[in-house]
């Protein structure tokens, strides 16, 4: 006599998911002074703004999950966002069979187990995608926030370099700066 049975299985897993995004770009520092002097000015300005020197000579600042790294020598800027989360997921499946026809209980269990693994992987992939979007969103927001600051840094370094260059050329008589327009006028006697 044929008898039906039902198998109910549950699988759970916990994984540590990591996602990251970063962009690298080049600061356009004008060659007003020799490269090493421009690098020194940039390093000083970055220090004032909370950047700390790293072992490799770069300057870095962490703003939460986002790290901004500047190489004063090359002017290369890297902004990196990272996200990490420990995620637990659970998947359930049920299957029914007959004791005399179709696959036996052992192979049915194997098949359901395989499907559960696939279900779990799919769920973790979705979580990974969500985490990736979060990291990218953080990066995009931070880029908007940091762009004016980077502009200020470049302008400040350019102004300082111009002043230093003027001092090298002659005696500075007058320096006028207009923070509104960003203009800088240096009068010097050669």
Partner 1 sequence: MEAKNDPRFATAMTHNDADPSRKAVSKFEESLLAVLQFFLDPHHARFPKQPRRDGDGSGTGGGHHFPSKEKELQVIRNGIARPPCLSRASVDLIEDTLAKGCILFLVLEGGWRSDRFLHAGQPQRGRVWEREPLVERTLAFSSHVIEFLLWATAEKVHETNAPWDAPPERLTPADELFFWLAFDACRTDPDLIAVLRRKNAFRANPLCWISFPADIADDNGAASPDFAPVMHGLRSIILACLQQHLLKRWIQSEGKKCNTSDWTKLRQQGRAEFAALQAFLGAAAAAGRMDLARFVLGTNAALFQGDLTPAFWTGGLQGSGPARLADRLDTQRSALAVPRQMAVLEQWQERARSIGYFDDDYAASQMWKQEWEAVDGDTIARRAHAAVQMLEPLRTSAASEPVEPQAQ
Binding site for partner 1 (CB under 8 A): 21-23, 25-30, 77, 79, 129, 132-133, 136, 139-140, 143, 146-147, 150-151, 154-155, 158, 182, 187
CB of 187 to partner 1, least distance (A): 7
CB of 129 to partner 1, least distance (A): 7
CB of 60 to partner 1, least distance (A): 15
For residue 127, count CB atoms less than 10 angstroms from its CB and return exposed for 0-12, middle for 13-18, buried for 19 or more. Answer: middle
How far are the Cα atoms of 13, 108, 164 from residue 118, in angstroms, in the given order?
12, 15, 65
For residue 40, count CB atoms less than 10 angstroms from its CB and return exposed for 0-12, middle for 13-18, buried for 19 or more. Answer: middle
Q: How far apart are CA 70 and CA 68, in angstroms?
A: 7
Decide whether 109 or 165 has the Cβ nearer to partner 1.
165
Nearest-5° angle of CA 63, CA 67, CA 68? 105
Decide whether 1 or 176 has the Cβ nearer to partner 1.
176
Closest residue by Cα to residue 68 from 114, 104, 132, 25:
25
Q: Using an 8 Å Cβ cutoff, are 14 and 123 in contact?
A: no
CB of 153 to partner 1, least distance (A): 9
Decide whether 69 or 116 has the Cβ nearer to partner 1.
69
CB of 150 to partner 1, least distance (A): 5
Closest residue by Cα to residue 176 from 167, 166, 165, 187:
187
Decide whether 30 or 52 has the Cβ nearer to partner 1.
30
Decide whether 13 or 85 has the Cβ nearer to partner 1.
85
């Amino acid at each position: 006599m044929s008898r039906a049975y039902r198998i109910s299985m549950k699988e759970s897993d916990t994984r540590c998911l990591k996602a990251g995004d970063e962009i690298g770009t080049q600061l356009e520092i004008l060659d007003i002074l020799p490269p090493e002097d421009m690098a020194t000015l940039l390093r000083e300005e970055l220090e004032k703004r909370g950047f700390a020197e790293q072992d490799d000579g770069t300057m870095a600042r962490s703003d939460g999950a986002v790290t901004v790294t500047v190489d004063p020598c090359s002017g290369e800027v890297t902004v990196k966002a990272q996200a990490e989360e420990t995620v637990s997921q659970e998947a359930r499946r049920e299957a029914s069979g007959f004791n005399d026809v179709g696959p036996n209980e052992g192979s049915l269990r194997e098949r359901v187990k395989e499907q559960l693994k696939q279900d779990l992987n799919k769920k973790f992939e979705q979580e990974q995608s969500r985490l990736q979007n979060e990291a990218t969103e953080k990066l995009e927001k931070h880029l908007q926030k940091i762009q004016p600051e980077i502009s200020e840094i470049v302008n400040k370094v350019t102004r300082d370099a111009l002043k230093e260059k003027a001092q090298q050329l002659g005696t500075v008589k007058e320096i006028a700066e207009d923070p509104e327009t960003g203009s800088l006028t240096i009068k010097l006697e050669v």
